[in-house]
Structure 1
C-alpha cells in the first residue's frame, strides 16, 4: 500500500486506539521512515472534524520545527479526504517497555536510569520552550537507539485529534496509556503544561529505579484513581539503594499538585546531573563497541537553557 503516492507501507510496527504505526519507505528519497496513520473513527465526528484536522496540522507543523537529538524528527504530514498521517524518522533501537524485560529484576542501575531520565528532560525542555506538551509520555513512546541516545516519540500527533472529542480519549484505553498520566490530565480540567510531562518522567524514573511503576493496578479505573488520590511509595521503600536526594526528586515529580513539582525540565535535569555517568574522554578515540541497547547511556544530551 502506498500513501500520498510516496510512502510505501512495509510492515506494521504497532497498533492502538488512536491509529497504527508502520515501517515504510519514502519512495521519493529512498529512505526508511515511520508512518503513523490516524484511526478513521477520529475523523468521523462531523461536528469536530474540521477543527480537529486544523489543530492536527498546526501541531504537526510545530512538532516539525523541533530540532533536538532526543526528539524524533517529523518529516511530513498529510491530510486528505480519507487519510491522515504523520511521517517521522524511523528509530533503530528498542522501546523502554521492551528494555524493562531485558533487565535483571526489571530495573536499571542508578546511573543508567538517571541517564535515560536526563535525556528525556533534555528533549522535553526544548519542546516545552516551543510551547508543546507531550501529554502521553510512556514506556512505548521512549526509544533507546543502539548508540544509547534516547528518543521521544509522538510529539504533536493524534492527541490533538482526541482533544476534539473527549469521549475518544479514554474509550478503549489500556493500562499503558494511563500508566504515567498526571492527575490533572486524568481530571480533565485546568490548563495542562509541561509539569504534566514531568509527572510522567517521575513515573518512568520510579519504574527504572525500582523495577515497577508507582501504581501497579490491574484495571485502568483503579490505576486512574491511584494517580488522582493515592501517595506513591518512595523508591527507598522498595529495598533499592537509591540516594536520598534522588528519592526526594522522584517524590517531588510525583506530587499531585503541579505547583509542588519542579517547574521545568531543565530544573529536573540539573537535579539529575550529579548522578550521571562520568564523562569518558576515550569515547572519541576508541573503536566502537559492539552495539547493545542495554548498555549504560554514557552521553546524555544537555538541556535547552532557560
Structure 2
C-alpha cells in the first residue's frame, strides 16, 4: 500500500504502484524518495508513519500536522539535536532528514522528520509483554548505565531531554536501549537566558520534577525522570500511584521492589531527590556510582512498609486522538459523597479564552505541551495513603485541520476512540449542550494497563477549534465522581 499524508485526504490508501493519490492528487513519493507504508500512531501533534526509502530501507516519518509556532519550534529542535548527536542509543537522522512537504489543497507546508526505525518495544510495552514482571537489580544496573551513557553525550553537548519516561525508551532485540522523542529537548544556555521569562513546560505525570513544572528545568531534571522510570521498571507500578512519605516527601517504593539491592535503591532515591542539588552532580558522577554497583552482588532490601497495590496504569492522555482537545481524566482515589457540596474555584485562560470551575482542594498545574495540547491539569487530593488512583482533570485545545460540522467531527472522534484506546466498548452516545453550543457525549469502557476504566467524553466545536472534556475513572468507582465531572463540564465557558 502507498499512504497519502495529506491530513485532508478522505481516502489516503492507494495502490503501491502509483505516484499520486487517487483521492486528493497529492504526491505519494515524499521528498522524491520515501513511500509511506502505514500509520504507526497519531496524537494531537500529528502522525507517525512507517516509510520505505528508495533503497528499500524502512524508516520512521514524523509529520507535524499543527503549524503553530511552538509546535514547529519543538519539531525543528528535535531534528537539529538528532542530526548533531551520533550515538547507538539515539535514533539516526541524516542531514537531510528534516524537510517540508506540500500537499494538495493547502498553502501551509507539512513539517517532516525522517529517522531510523528502531525495531523493538518501548519499556512500557516491554514490561507489558513480560506480564508486568519487575526487572532484577542486575538488569536495572545495565539499563541505567546504558541510559546514563546516552545522557552523558546529550548533557555534554549542553542539551537535556526533559521527557524521559518508559514510553520514550526503546529496547532493541539485542537488549540495547535507545532514547527517543527529543521534541522537548532544551539547551542549557536557553534555560539560563530565559530564567526570568516564559519557558515551555513539558510535563509527564509521575515523571516530571517540581522545578520543571515551574519552568526551571535543568540537566539534573533528567535524573529525576530517570529515577522514576526505574521505579516503574522495578515495581511494575506507575510512580504516581505509589505513596509518598508525609514527612520527607520521598516516594515509598522499596516495599514493592524487594528484589532490588539496597545500594541500587539508594542511588535511585538520590536520583529522585526533591531538590536538584541533592541529586548526583552530573552524568560522570552517576556513571562512577553505577560502576561500583556493578562489582557488588545485590542484597534484597527488607520489606518494612505497606502492602503492594495493583499494577500501574498506562497514561490515558498518550495519543489522545479525540482531537487531543480538552481532556479530563479522573482516576478514582478520593471517595467524595454524591451529595457532598464542593466549593469551586474559577480558572480562566486568557490565552486560550476559556473558563472552568474546579474543586478548591485540587492542585492546579499550568502546562504548555504541544504534543497533546495540554493547557492546565487539576489533580485531586488523596483521601488517605491507601488510595491507588488520583483524579486528574486536564484541559487541552487543538486547532482543527479544516472546517468541519459537528456530525463530521462526531464520526471522526468515534473512529479515533476505537483506534486509540484499548478494549473499547461504547456504552452510550447522546447529543449534549456544552458552553451554550451543540455538542456530543460518548460513554465507553476502556483499559489502562491492568486497570479497567470507564470514560465519559463530551465535545463541542467553536472558532475552528475542538473542545473535548473527558471524565475517566476506575470502572468500579465511575459513579462516585460522575457528579463532580458533570459540574465541571457544565461550568465550562468559551469566551
Same fold (TM over 0.5): yes
- Which stretches in structure 1 are left out of the alignment for 5+ residues? 218-222, 279-306
What residue is the counterpart of 2:91 in the other structure?
72
1:216 maps to 2:237: no
* Map of 2:263 onto structure 1: 245
Q: In structure 2, how many angstroms separate the alpha carbons of the residues matched to 1:243 and 1:263?
A: 22
SS in 2 for 1:106: coil
Cα shift at 1:33: 0.6
> 8 Å contact 2:201–2:213 — kept in the other structure?
no
Q: What are the residue-to-residue correspondences of 1:124-273 with 2, within 5 Å? A: 124-155=151-182, 157=183, 177-187=204-214, 189-190=215-216, 192-216=217-241, 230-235=249-254, 237-238=255-256, 240-273=258-291
- The size of the alignment, in residue pairs, is 249
* 1:6 lines up with 2:33 in the alignment: yes
Structure with bigger RCO (C-alpha 8 Å, 6+ apart): 1
What's the CA shift for 1:63? 2.2
User: In 1, Cα distance between the equivalents of 2:201 and 2:280?
Assistant: 27
Q: Residues 158 and 55 (structure 1 numbering): CA distance in 2 closer, same or farther, change over 3 Å?
A: closer
Match of 1:61 in 2: 80
Q: What whole-Å deviation, never above 9, does each CA across 1:112-141 have from its counterpart, x for those lacking one? A: 122111111111110111122111111111
Question: Deviation of residue 253 (structure 1)?
Answer: 0.7
Q: Distance in 2 between matches of 1:72 and 1:14?
A: 17
Q: Which range moves more in the overlay, 80-89 or 108-117?
A: 80-89
Aligned to 1:74, the other structure's residue is in SS state coil
TM-score (ref. length: structure 1): 0.71
Out of 53, 67, 74, the position equivalent to 1:26 is 53
Structure-2 separation of matches of 1:153 and 1:68: 12
Deviation at 1:96, TM superposition (A): 0.5
Greater strand fraction, Structure 1 or Structure 2: 2
Change in 2 beyond 3 A, CA 1:181/1:54: closer
Could you tell me how far apart the structure 2 residues matched to 1:216 and 1:144 are? 24
Cα deviation for residue 56 of structure 1 reads 4.3
Say if 1:158 and 1:261 are closer, same or farther in 2 by CA, change over 3 A: closer
What 5-or-longer segments of structure 2 have no aligned partner? 5-27, 102-107, 192-197, 297-495
Q: C-alpha deviations, 1:140-167, integer Å up to 9, x for none?
A: 1111101111111122x3667xx9xx89
CA distance in 1, matches of 2:261, 2:184: 38
Please say if 1:39 is aligned against 2:65: yes
SS of corresponding position for 1:78: strand
> Taking structure 1 as reference, are residues 202 and 158 closer, same or farther at Cα in structure 2, changes over 3 Å only?
closer
* Distance verdict in 2 for CA 1:198–1:111, change over 3 Å: same
Rounded to whole Å, the distance in 1 between the matches of 2:85 and 2:38 is: 27
Deviations 1:45-89 (A, max 9, x none): xxxx3x764664355223211111111112211135321121111
